[in-house]
Amino acid sequence: MVLSSLRVRRRLSRRPAVTLLDVFRQHARSRPRRPLLLFQDGVYTFQEVESLSNRAAWALWRRLGLRSGRTVAVFLPNEPAYLWTWLALAKLGCPMACLNSNVRGRALRHALEAAQATLVLASPELRQAVEEVLPDLERDGVRVFYLSSASPTPGVEALLPAIEAGARRAAARPGNRAGVSADSKAMYIYTSGTTGQHREAGGVLGLTMVDPPGPGVTQPCPRGQVSTERLEVSWGLTVVAHLVQVCPGRVHVDRSAWAGLPKAAVITEMKLMMVASLGRICGLRPDDVVYTTLPLYHSAGLLVGLGGCLEVGPRCGRSSLRRFGPVDVREFYGATEGNAGFINYTGKVGAVGRANRFLKLLAPFELIRYDVDEDAPARDRRGLCVPVAPGETGLLVVKITKNTPFHGYAGDARKTEKKILRDVLAKGDAFFTAATC
């Protein structure tokens, strides 16, 4: 894990920085005909995804006048267009705001305002949600386009004809990414509406390695689901997620996490590369298939699932996990907006991660006592927080440093400040609080 972190930092410290987009383009040059994305009956190679994203970047630049630094919201269900749209925006140097495809009305408008997005790329499948807020968006100067051949909504243009007419080998202008660095904003991913409220456990994300009966086996999936019907795999990897509270003797869903309006967590190029590297840490290889069972607006589905494929180079399939063969679980813990995470790389049952002295040097963290009655960290006579002893329950906090920065939420300094705990181990220090015991 430490070596992976150093590898990412070395890439991004170069001039120009080597980002996840650059890694993908290296794969596209070295293995152009290798399948990258499997969706339903379709197969998309690295070369095809590179060509589609080039055409989209050209159309967005020429037709819509997009320039580097402008935020573009993507309002799409899970479909191949999500991938090549993401890459097209990255080539233009435009951060992508990943809208939850289930968000509606006021929450949708708030999500756009938080990321300061003035352009939306949507799917006609979400027509009802678009038309509900379209008058408000037009009043605010937000333009909406469908990534389709035709538009069912008056006033919303279909952009796919312009993309298909784009130059096949057109590439984004080199200057669009000239200033990209480790701290550049790559995208915004929306988290729950609550901020800084104590939870007994947070979102637990897991990677599950699945061994099929043998190499080259075709696994059929049930019809009628949003999935591939046939995938040939050597072994697959699927991303699963749970948002739960873990209490003695019981497990239940933490519904409070959905309260309030969504917050736009800033994902930098550094965080994007770090999270995409989780697959490599778990043993992901170029000849593997990654099954994404989460929506792509989700940080695990997009950054771990698709991002891992762009980083390592395996195929990505949209599928439902079937239980076959032995299952090897590798849990990990992290927060979308957090400044550090943990991974159970040793496979110890029941753990969501493992700490060592090298990791703690790179990402200083602590478990501190939490007063549930006062709903605040316990402090000693000096006003500092109290670390827990081994085996005790504590609140997870991660120190904010140059190596572990906390970029917070776009457009909301108050909510960002709520996630910062000060005077933890020494006067004047600052820690990100995961609000998780």
**Average confidence (pLDDT) per 10 residues, the chain, 437 residues:** 74 86 90 86 89 92 90 92 93 93 92 94 96 96 96 95 74 65 89 48 32 31 28 27 29 39 86 79 71 67 68 55 49 76 73 76 88 88 92 89 87 84 94 77
Q: Which residues contact 25 (CB under 8 A, 6 or more apart)?
A: 50
Long-range contact list for 419-426, CB < 8 A, 24+ apart? Answer: 419/195, 419/196, 419/337, 421/377, 421/385, 421/397, 423/383, 423/384, 423/385, 424/366, 424/368, 424/377, 424/384, 424/385, 424/397, 424/399, 425/366, 425/384, 425/385, 425/387, 426/384
Q: What is the pLDDT of residue 75?
A: 96
Helices in 32-102 by DSSP H: which ranges?
A: 46-62, 80-92
CA distances from 277 to 54, 182, 255, 332, 343 (A): 25, 15, 30, 13, 12
Distances (CA, A) of 118 to 74, 113, 229: 11, 8, 37
Give, in order, the Cα–Cα distances in Å from 166 to each of 47, 57, 255, 385.
Answer: 16, 9, 45, 58
The bridge status of strand 185-191 relative to strand 96-98 is parallel
Chain segment 217-226, per-residue pLDDT in tens: 223 333 222 2
Residue span(s) of the chain under CATH 3.40.50.12780 come to 20-35+42-179
Contact 36, 316 (CB under 8 A): yes
Tokens of 339: 């400044």
CATH topology of domain 20-35+42-179: Rossmann fold (3.40.50)
Q: In this predicted structure, what is the pLDDT of residue 47?
A: 92
Report the C-alpha dihedral over residues 416, 114, 256, 98, rounded to 10 degrees. Answer: -110
Q: What is the pLDDT of residue 123?
A: 95
Which two three-digit tokens encode residue 424?
């933890």
What is residue 150's DSSP assignment? Answer: S
* pLDDT in the model for residue 205: 31
